[in-house]
Structure 1
Amino acid sequence: MLTLAPDQLRGSIPPLVTPFKNGAVDYDAYAGLVEFQAKEGSHGILVNGTTSEPASLTVEERNKIVDVAVEAAAGRLTVVAATGSQSYAETEALTRHAAAKDGVDALLIVTPYYSRPPQRGLVEYYRRLNELHNKPWMIYHIPGRAAVDVKVETAVEIDKVCPTFVGMKHASLDLGYVSDLFEAISPDLRIFVGLEELSFPMMAVGACGLMNAVGNLRPKPLAEMCEAVWAGDLNKGRELHHQLFEINKAVFYDINPIPMKYMMKRLGIMPENEHRIPLMPATPEIEKKLDGVLKHTGLI
C-alpha cells in the first residue's frame, strides 16, 4: 500500500452530478458545481462517479469532464477521478487520461460490472491497470450495482500486487467489512463511506471521509461531520448525521441521481433538470414528496 500524508485524500468528497442541456453535457454548469463545492467547504470532488450517470457518457465526455473539473478546482479541492467501466479497454482509456493530469490527485476504479468476474480476475484486472500509472488509487466497491463482491482476502492480494493502491469507497451496508480491511491490510487504509445511512457509523470506526451523493445538495454539514470526527467530537458528528437523516432518505426516493437533480434545480444549484435515457426526470408524485422534504428541512 502506498503511504500517504495524514491529511492527504480524506474528508467530504461528493460525487458530482453531470448537468445536461438539450442532450449535451453542460460543461459550464459543471464548472459551476465545482465552484459551489469549493465555496461550501467540501474537501474535494469525485468526478464521473455513479451519481454522474457515467454509463450514459462517452469516453470523450468523461475525459473532458475530468479536464473541466481540474481547471475549475484550480488546486483548491482534492480531485478524485472515477475511471472504471464494465470494459477493460474503456477503463484503460479513462485511467490513462486521468492519470496524466497533474490536477488529478487520485483515481477511483469500480469493480467491472455485469461480467461478474471471479476474485482472481479482480486481482489481475487491478494489477494490469496499476501498471499504467503511478497515481494513488482506490477500489470502488458497490456490489449492489456491480454484482460482484471484493472479498477481504482479495483486497489483501490486490494490495500486494498494486504499488499505488491506497483504499476503497465502500458502498455496502456491511460495516464489519471495514474493520476487517483495517485489520487485514492497514489502519491507514483510506476508506470512504459510499452510503449515506452509514456516514457517521463508518467514520466512527475509522473511515477517512465521505463520498456521498447528498453532498451535491448539502456540502457543508458533510464537511463539518468529517471535521467533528477528526476533532474527536462524536456528539457533534452524531448530531449532524441525524440532521441529514430526512434529506439522505429523499435522495433515494427514486434511482440516484433523479431526486438529486430535481432538488438541485429547485434550489438553483444548477440550471436544468435533465437526464439521459434510460434515466428520466422525477414524476410529479416524487416531485411533490421532494418539495415536502425541502420545505420541512428549511431549504425552501
Structure 2
Amino acid sequence: MTKFYGTGVALITPFKEDLSVDFDALEKLVQYNIDNGTNYLVISGTTGESVTITKEEKVAIIDCVKSINEGQLPIVLGIGGNNTQAVINEIKSTNFDGIDGILSVSPYYSKPTQEGVYQHFKAISEVSPLPIIVYNVPGRTSSNMLPVTTLRLARDFNNIIGVKEAGNNVAQYLQLLRDKPEDFLVISGDDDLALSVVLAGGAGVISVIGQALPKEFSKMIQLGLKGEAKAAYQLHFKLMEITSLIFKENNPAGIKAVLEALNISKSLVRLPLVPATTNLKEEISKALAAI
C-alpha cells in the first residue's frame, strides 16, 4: 500500500456565492495539488463538509476530481457513518472506477463500545471491494477507537490496511506504531503532529493545510520519511503558525480562508458552519506573508 505513503490531502468542497458547488475552483485546487507534490487525494471527508453534501453532489464531485486527476494520483473516498447498514448500502451502490481506497470514520454520536466499533468495521470490511483506512477522530465522534481495537481490525481483516489517527494523543500514536503489523499504515490525521508521527515510523498524513501549501508540506513529510529530522523540522517550524490558525475557529472555515487568500476558492461554508471571521482572515494573511 505504498500509494498511501506521504501526503494525502483532505480536499475542501468549494462553494459559489449561492452555496452551490464551485467545480471550477475544485478543478483548480486539484490541479494545484497535482502540480506541487501531493501524493494522494481524499474526497468527502470532514474537511469536504461531507455531512451537508447531497448524494448527487458527492457523485458530481467524485467525477470532477477524477476528470482532472486522470489517474495521476491515488484517490481515497470517504464513506462512513453511524448507521452501519447505510454505509454498507453506499459501498454496494458506489462506482469505484478510478478510486483506490475508502476512508471510513468510526461511528459518531451513537457512542458504541469497542466491540461495537469492531463489529461495524468488520461488516464494512466484508463488503468492501477496496482497501479501507479506518478513521479515528474522537473529538468529532465522542468515541475513541482504542489502539487495541484498531490493531485487532488490522490483524483480522486484510483489506483494512491503515488507520487515520486523529486523537491528537502522542501516547496512542506510539502504541499503534509499536504494536502494529509490519505493513499496517499509521497515518496522522493531526497536521501539527504529522512530522513527529512520520519520524516515529508513521506512513504519512492526511492533511488539511497540505492542500493550501502542498510544496512545503509534502517536502516536510518526505524529509521525515527519509529520517532527515533537522531539515524536516525547519519546514515544520515555518508552517506551525498557519497550521494552528486554520483550526482556531472551525474546520474547514480556516483552510477555506487560506485558499481564498491564495485565490484558489472562496471562503464560503454551509450552515451550521460559518465563514472565518475578519480577524482570523487577517491573521492568516499575515502568516502566509511570513511564509
Q: Same fold (TM over 0.5)?
A: yes
Contact 1:16 1:52 in 2 (8 A): yes
C-alpha displacement of 1:40? 1.0
Matching of residues 101-140 of structure 1 within 5 Å: 101-140=96-135
Partners of 2:67 and 2:103 in 1: how far apart? 19
Partner in structure 1 of residue 200 of structure 2: 205
> Relative to structure 1, is the Cα distance of residues 248 and 213 closer, same or farther in structure 2, using a 3 angstrom cutoff?
same
Contact 2:25 2:264 in 1 (8 A): no
Partners of 1:176 and 1:85 in 2: how far apart? 26
> Relative to structure 1, is the Cα distance of residues 84 and 248 closer, same or farther in structure 2, using a 3 angstrom cutoff?
same
Match of 1:96 among 88, 92, 112: 92
Q: Is it true that 1:239 corresponds to 2:234 in the alignment?
A: yes
Identity %: 27
Partners of 1:220 and 1:142 in 2: how far apart? 26
Match of 1:77 among 70, 73, 76: 73
Which runs of at least 4 in structure 1 moved beyond 4 Å after TM superposition?
none
1:124 counterpart SS class: helix
Partners of 2:214 and 2:261 in 1: how far apart? 16
Partner in structure 2 of residue 279 of structure 1: 273
Contact 1:14 1:44 in 2 (8 A): yes
1:20 counterpart SS class: coil
Partner in structure 1 of residue 9 of structure 2: 14
RMSD of aligned Cα (Å)? 1.7
Matching of residues 240-279 of structure 1 within 5 Å: 240-270=235-265, 272-279=266-273
Normalising to structure 1: TM-score of the pair?
0.91
The amino acid across from 1:79 in the alignment is I
Partners of 1:79 and 1:288 in 2: how far apart? 33
> Relative to structure 1, is the Cα distance of residues 23 and 157 closer, same or farther in structure 2, using a 3 angstrom cutoff?
same
Partners of 1:255 and 1:139 in 2: how far apart? 23
Partners of 1:56 and 1:277 in 2: how far apart? 8
Partners of 2:31 and 2:93 in 1: how far apart? 23
Number of aligned residues: 290
Partner in structure 2 of residue 194 of structure 1: 189
Partners of 1:224 and 1:96 in 2: how far apart? 37
C-alpha displacement of 1:255? 0.3
